[in-house]
Copies of this chain bind each other. A is one copy, B any other.
Amino acid sequence: MSKEITNKDKDYSQWYNDLVLKGGLADYSAVRGCMVIKPYGYTLWENIRDVLDGMFKETGHVNAYFPLFIPKSFLSKEADHVEGFAKECAVVTHYRLKNDPDGKGVVVDPEAKLEEELIVRPTSETIIWNTYKTWIQSWRDLPILVNQWANVVRWEMRTRLFLRTAEFLWQEGHTAHATSEEAVAEAEKMLEVYANFAEEYMALPVVRGVKSANERFAGAVETYCIEALMQDGKALQAGTSHFLGQNFAKAFDVKYLSKEGKEELVWATSWGVSTRLIGALIMAHSDDKGLVLPPKLAPFHVVIIPFISKNPDETQALREKANEIKSLLKAKGIRTQIDDDETKRPGFKFAEYELKGYPVRVVIGPRDLTNGVAEVARRDTGEKQSVSLENIDQTIDQLLEDIQKNLYQKALSFREEHITQVDTWDEFMDVLENKTGFVSAHWDGTPATEDKIKELSKATIRCIPLNNKLEEGKCILTGQPSKQRVLFARAY
């Protein structure tokens, strides 16, 4: 077995990298911090994208495309935004290369220096609001409900495949509204879209909440987020939706004439999820054998492995049966692959498809053919059963539903077991160090205390849950009065 996977409990981080690399999802590239998304990983992204895109369109959004480059000066127009995004980014300074006078390769042509440097977009609020200025004159032009699927670049110093890469793929919604209420409702609606997507499709339970001021998006008035828990007990922010107030309208002077004939600043939201979701998917469900993928997003649902017999007629019959089953499954929308490679042994194939996380494996041998059955194995529990070929399509259809539900339930149980209420600093540290997961604790509400807690514990406030119960208490660090518990965790 060339593709050995590190045990999750032994080295979680190496286990993760093994799954990404050996599972065929992505590769490192020649460019620092940038990854190559391999076909198997990209199909996963296509499935994520297609479902989300459908959800965005159902909620009235349309797609558009804005330039990759942002003039440097744009970033400075919104004071918080520039602090958050104008630092680690890719800067285009020249627009031409020329042959090296020394005859070796090419060099930057010093005469082709841009008057103003261009930044490769780390996020597109500025270029988009500079455009909206020309699109918006009156209340009739509102709301604008636009989404963009794009690549963005943030020059991260420490990168991890899918979780944090210099370039990543994402979608960014940017909406413009006539009123504050409408914009807040939009930001909340899109958070709910993300939460539904995570739970229904990724089988990933999430906590819906708002960020503390420290963790807010640079330029936002309020940042809504969904937070998920990984199997190592660390939290992962899976999506954010921002109420931007009038900050970008002010920065780019975007006003509209109201029905009453008054000039008003426009209200904004933005919201995004990225290829990071693939990292979350991997870490939420997978095991020591490899990837475990929820059927609703898996590139393939089923692999059919017909045994290769020494009798060529028998082999042929098994192949034909495999194709028959595939047609049946295809008619039900079940994505199926046949592996009848004669050069590989069944055991090798079993390990390979377990590594790749195919939800269901169907094996048929000569005796199965005689008995009119096949062996069906599910990836999540490893259970095998002998299934009648008669209605195998229905059986598998049901099985895929069961797997989807089981993955969600398992992740939900894990998450529920890993939300721990604590009331003292010692308990707090003990849970973070040993039990891990979310810690529900009182905090005095100040950014300074939050910073101090982070410094001492490496935990951050993941969110203040929506509809949080109010409860009198004392801050675990300062003992100052607090009105509600918030969720802390160490996080990706």
Please judge, given known A-B contacts A37-B65, A67-B167, A76-B105, whether A127 and B97 are in contact too, CB under 8 Å. Answer: no
* Chain A 148-171 interface 0/1 with B at a Cβ cutoff of 8 Å (1 = within): 001101010000000000010100
Q: How far is the CA of A69 from the CA of B46 in the complex (A)?
A: 22
Contact A29 B131 (CB under 8 A): yes
Interface flag for A180 (CB, 8 Å) = no
Judge whether A68 and B30 touch: CB under 8 Å.
Answer: no
Bound-complex Cα distance A263 to B346 (A): 29
User: Pick the contact of A69 from B36, B42, B74, B167 — CB < 8 Å?
Assistant: B167
- Quick check: is A31 within 8 A (CB to CB) of the other chain? yes
Listed stretches A116-124, A311-319, A455-463, A480-488; interface member: A116-124
Residues of chain B within 8 A (CB-CB) of A65 are 36-37, 42, 45, 169
Q: Are B167 and A39 in contact (CB under 8 A)?
A: no
Residues of chain A touching chain B, judged by Cβ–Cβ distance below 8 Å, are 27, 29-31, 34-39, 42-43, 45-46, 62-76, 82, 86-98, 105-106, 108, 117-120, 127, 130-131, 134, 146, 150-151, 153, 155, 167, 169
Q: Which residues of B contact A69 (CB under 8 A)?
A: 31, 34, 90, 167
Task: Please measure, in the bound complex, the distance between the C-alpha atom of A150 and the C-alpha atom of B37, giving whole angstroms.
Answer: 13
B68 touches A153 (CB 8 A): yes
Given contacts A30-B130, A97-B75, contact A62 B39 (CB under 8 A): yes
Contacting pair A95 B89 (CB below 8 A)? yes
Asked if A120 and B96 make an inter-chain contact with CB atoms under 8 angstroms apart, the answer reads no
Are B88 and A63 closer than 8 Å at their CB atoms?
Answer: no
Could you say which residues of chain B place their CB within 8 Å of the CB of A150?
Answer: 151
- Give the residues in chain B near A130, CB-CB below 8 Å: 30
Expressed in whole angstroms, the Cα–Cα distance for A97 and B93 within the complex equals: 12
| Residue contact A95 to B105, C-beta cutoff 8 Å | no
Chain B residues closer than 8 Å to A92, beta-carbon distance: 90-93, 120
Query: How many angstroms between the C-alpha atoms of A146 and B42 in the bound complex?
Result: 11
Contacts of A64 in B (CB 8 A): 36-39, 42
Q: CA–CA, A95 to B117, complex, Å?
A: 12
Contact B87 A96 (CB under 8 A): yes
Indicate if the CB atoms of A39 and B67 lie closer than 8 Å.
Answer: no
Shortest Cβ distance from A155 into B: residue: B95
A89 touches B93 (CB 8 A): no
Known A36-B64, A169-B65; judge A117-B127 contact (CB<8 A). no
Task: Determine the chain B residues whose CB is within 8 A of the CB of A106 once the complex forms.
Answer: 72, 75-76, 82, 86
Per the bound structure, the CA–CA distance linking A130 and B31 in Å amounts to: 11
State how many angstroms separate the Cβ of A259 from the closest Cβ of chain B: 12
Kindly provide the distance from the CB of A187 to the nearest chain B CB, expressed in whole angstroms: 20
Q: Is A97 within 8 A of B86, CB to CB?
A: yes
- Are A91 and B89 also in contact (CB < 8 A) when A29-B127, A43-B62, A130-B30 are? no
List B contacts of A27 (CB < 8 A): 131, 134
The residues of B that contact A98 with a CB separation of less than 8 Å are: 87
Show 22 residue pairs from A and B whose CB-CB distance is below 8 angstroms, ordered by the A residue.
Answer: A30-B71, A34-B69, A39-B64, A42-B64, A65-B169, A67-B167, A68-B120, A68-B167, A69-B90, A72-B108, A82-B105, A86-B106, A87-B96, A87-B97, A87-B98, A88-B96, A89-B96, A90-B94, A90-B95, A93-B94, A97-B119, A108-B117
Expressed in whole angstroms, the Cα–Cα distance for A72 and B118 within the complex equals 18
A29 is contacted by which of B31, B66, B90 (Cβ under 8 Å)? B66
**CB-CB under 8 A for A30 and B97, given A39-B146, A90-B92, A167-B68:** no
User: Which B residues are in CB contact (< 8 Å) with A155?
Assistant: 95-96
Verify B90–A118 contact, CB threshold 8 A: yes
Within the complex, which residue of B75, B127, B169 is in contact with A31, where a contact is CB–CB below 8 Å? B127
